[in-house]
Amino acid sequence: MSDYSDLYQQARDAATKAYAPYSGFRVGAVVVADDGRTFAGCNVENAAYGSGICAEGNAISTAAAAGVRKIGAVVIACLDAGECYPCGNCRQLMREFSVDTVVVQDGSGSLRTHEFAEILPHSFGPDSLEGKNG
Ligand code: THU
């Protein structure tokens, strides 16, 4: 199994940049592309609350803008909570780029590694539009 501790620290570093004046809930994420490049993101809130973006979506969008179409892992750090899992919308964003592994903090100083299908079982993805199971 991979050691995600360095990537987790990068996600924590990203979380320190979070713009979260409304929730005070700082999140960072690092995605690892299939070519090994990594991209970080933090949550960015907005006075129009629904316009805010999550850390995972920010990192995934940054990777996509760099040409990435396949993501191996997403590593998530929350500075203001213990155990911390991605929201449903971010799980769906991950699905689009065929994420294999999601790494989260467990609230007691350790990391938990999940296969993506555990995080979003029976998912709807690109293949679903062609009538195939993802
Ligand atoms: N947030 C994330 O960045 N990622 C998640 O998966 C869950 C929630 C952010 C959104 C918002 O800025 C704050 O955390 C509180 O919901």
Task: Specify whether the CB–CB gap between 42 and 17 falls below 8 A.
Answer: yes
Report the separation in Å between the CA atom of 54 and the middle of ligand 1, taken as the mean of its atom positions: 5
Tell me, in angstroms, the distance from the centre of ligand 1 to residue 46's CA: 12
56 included as an active-site residue: yes
**Set 45, 56, 96, 115: catalytic member:** 56
**CA quadruple 80, 15, 97, 34: dihedral sign:** negative
pLDDT at 2: 82
Domain count, the chain: 1
Residue 54 confidence (pLDDT)? 98
Nearest CA to ligand 1 atom 14: 25
Residue 13 confidence (pLDDT): 98
Walking along the chain (134 residues) 10 residues at a time, the average pLDDT comes out as: 92 98 98 98 98 98 98 98 97 98 97 98 96 69
β 111-115/101-105 pair status: antiparallel
Give the SS3 label for residue 133. coil
Domain range for 62 is 5-129
Domain membership flag for residue 134: no
In a domain, 118, yes or no: yes
Determine the residue of 16, 25, 44 to mutate for testing ligand 1's pocket, defined as the one with the most ligand atoms within 8 A of the Cβ atom: 25
Per-residue confidence (pLDDT) for residue 1, from 0 to 100:
58
Q: Look at phi and psi of residue 101 and say left if phi exceeds 0, alpha if psi is from -120 to 50, else beta.
A: beta
Maximum distance among all alpha carbons in the chain?
43
Q: Which CATH number does the domain housing residue 106 bear?
A: 3.40.140.10
Ligand 1 centroid – CA 27 distance (Å): 6
pLDDT at 133: 63
